[in-house]
Amino acid sequence: MQLYLLFALLGLSTAAYYVGRRKAFALAGRAAEAVRLHSRPTYHGALTALWCGIPALLIFGFWLVLENQVITHLVVRDLPEAIRSLPPDRLNLVINDIRNIEGGSFASQTTDPGMQAAADHYRQLRSISNHALAAVTIALMAAATLLVRSRITSHLRARNQVEAILTVILVACSTIAIFTTIGIILSVLYEAIRFFKAVPITEFLFGLDWSPQMAIRADQVGSSGAFGAVPVFLGTILISAIAMVVAVPIGLMSAIYLSEYAGKRLRAVAKPLIEVLAGIPTVVYGFFAALTVAPVIRDWGNWVGLDVASESALAAGLVMGIMIIPFVSSLSDDFINAVPQSLRDGAYSLGATRSETIRQVIVPAAIPGIIGGVLLAVSRAIGETMIVVMAAGLSANLTVNPLKAVTTVTVQIVTLLVGDQEFDSPKTLAAFALGLILFIVTLCLNIIALYVVRKYREQYE
């Protein structure tokens, strides 16, 4: 229904374009008066279309956002007192049931008549809302079109007005990045603060025991919930470190080989192939880690006589390292290529071999950029989710043994938030606290890395 209305709005705007343009042509076409328009007729059309479409679209958007809350409020107001006085989470369940009945996903004979009545009320309100929305927007569009049409004269500075509107739209679009950042910070911070009200921040940051299962019943044993996140942080660091041990040498050496030694043909083949590694979805790596790499590592470990967990940190870290190789290599490649040829020539003329030139001249010259690239890769490793969700464990062991199972920040966020969510229990809110830490850490890494990279780029320009 709303989709059709959206298409109708777009269609009407297109129609408005032709209305405006026709008027302009009609004005210009009167040969006797020989009117000269300020703008070309397409601008008159565009101006009409913009005035017709934008306010209607704005109203459409706000309506959709607010509709649900208003209708829910109205339905709740008419519910019997017994239901209205329920605690908020129970009330939400009731509202969900009403919506489900309204959507037809419950067989209607199984529900009691009160709920059915509420659902009917809900459906009726929705239908009223839909019709009202259609009436309001279409009336508004017609009015706007007629108004603009009546104002089209030969002196109307249509082009300037259209361009002004477009500029405003462009500015609005470019600010979305800022709103996204603000949205992330506010939403994560808000829930995290609620979490820190229940669990002291020092316990969260320095506690050594992580078992976020909360007791469902008050008399339940052994699951009081412990939120010391150190084991989780340590697991993240361990897996990221393994990943970097794999990715940095391989990535750096392949970048050096490709930019300094390889011929054109090898470079043309190998470079895109390595970059394919970056384009593979992480869920594929996760599957590879869990079903191919982890069993192999476990079998080898057993063969040597080591006790390897089936969800070892090594498997997840190794595969994550493979995923990160192209990030390290393509960034390092950029920076190695940015080192001026004169530095190389200088080293060669002193009699240095190629590898000596690379190790003692080129890499030191490119090192700030390479460090920036490595930092970006670290931030990627820390935030990587699917590989660790599928291949690393859930148990928060305080260990640095890569053969044991560890858990990471992202794994915990996923396990805490997938499934039932209760936004008043520390269990769910803990995910946001972890998310806040994750965001802050990656933000710092990114800012440092981007600063270093930018600084370095300017150096040789």
Partner 1 sequence: MNNTIGSSDAPAPRRTIDIVNRSLKRRYRAERRFRFYGMAAIVLSLLFLALLFASIVFKGYSAFWQTSIRLSIFFDPAVLQQDTLVNADYAALVREALFKKFPQVEGRQDKRQLAALMSSGGVYRLRNMVLKDPDLVGKAVEVWLPADDDIDMLIKGHFRRDLPESERRVTDLQIAWIEKLESEGRLERQFNTTFLSAGDSREPELAGIWGAVSGSFFTLVITLSLSFPIGVAAAVYLEEFARKNRWTDLIEVNINNLAAVPSIVFGLLGLAVFLNFFGLPRSAPLVGGLVLTLMTLPTIIIASRSALTSVPPSIREAALGVGASKMQMVVHHVRPLALPGMLTGTIIGMARALGESAPLLMIGMVAFIVDIPKGFTDSATVLPVQIYLWSDSPERAFVERTSAAIMVLLAFLVVMNAGAIILRKKFERRW
Rule CB under 8 A: say whether 107 interacts with partner 1: no
Check: CB of residue 294 under 8 Å from CB of residue 308.
Answer: no
Beta bridge partners of 210: 227
Segment interacting with partner 1, rule: CB under 8 A, options 79-87, 118-126, 145-153, 169-177: 169-177
User: Among residue numbers 1 through 40, which ones bind partner 1 (CB under 8 A)?
Assistant: 3
Q: Which is nearer to partner 1, 96 or 202 (CB)?
A: 96
Q: Which is nearer to partner 1, 274 or 314 (CB)?
A: 274
Closest contact distance (angstroms) between CB of 276 and partner 1 is: 6
Rule CB under 8 A: say whether 288 interacts with partner 1: yes
Site size for partner 1, by CB under 8 A?
Answer: 98
User: Among residue numbers 321 through 380, which ones bind partner 1 (CB under 8 A)?
Assistant: 322, 325-326, 329, 350-356, 358-360, 376, 379-380
Rule CB under 8 A: say whether 384 interacts with partner 1: yes
What type of residue is 405? A
Owner of token pair 């660790």: 388
Check: CB of residue 318 under 8 Å from CB of residue 293.
Answer: yes
Pick from 117, 143, 147, 280 the residue near partner 1 by CB under 8 A.
Answer: 280
User: Among residue numbers 406 through 435, which ones bind partner 1 (CB under 8 A)?
Assistant: 410, 413-414, 417-418, 423, 431-432, 435
Segment interacting with partner 1, rule: CB under 8 A, options 200-208, 254-262, 305-313, 338-346: 254-262
Pick from 218, 281, 458, 461 the residue near partner 1 by CB under 8 A.
Answer: 281
Rule CB under 8 A: say whether 291 interacts with partner 1: yes
* Distance of alpha carbon 289 from alpha carbon 69, whole angstroms: 44
Segment interacting with partner 1, rule: CB under 8 A, options 132-140, 273-281, 305-313, 397-405: 273-281
Closest contact distance (angstroms) between CB of 217 and partner 1 is: 26
User: Among residue numbers 174 through 233, which ones bind partner 1 (CB under 8 A)?
Assistant: 174-178, 180-181, 183-184, 187-188, 190-191
Closest contact distance (angstroms) between CB of 284 and partner 1 is: 5
Binding mask 233-252 for partner 1 (x = CB under 8 A): ----------------xxxx
Segment interacting with partner 1, rule: CB under 8 A, options 77-85, 132-140, 204-212, 281-289: 281-289
As given in the structure block, the two tokens for residue 151 are 């104002």
Angle at the Cα of 156 from the Cα atoms of 153 and 158, rounded to 5 degrees: 125
Rule CB under 8 A: say whether 386 interacts with partner 1: yes
User: Among residue numbers 40 through 79, which ones bind partner 1 (CB under 8 A)?
Assistant: 65, 68-69, 72
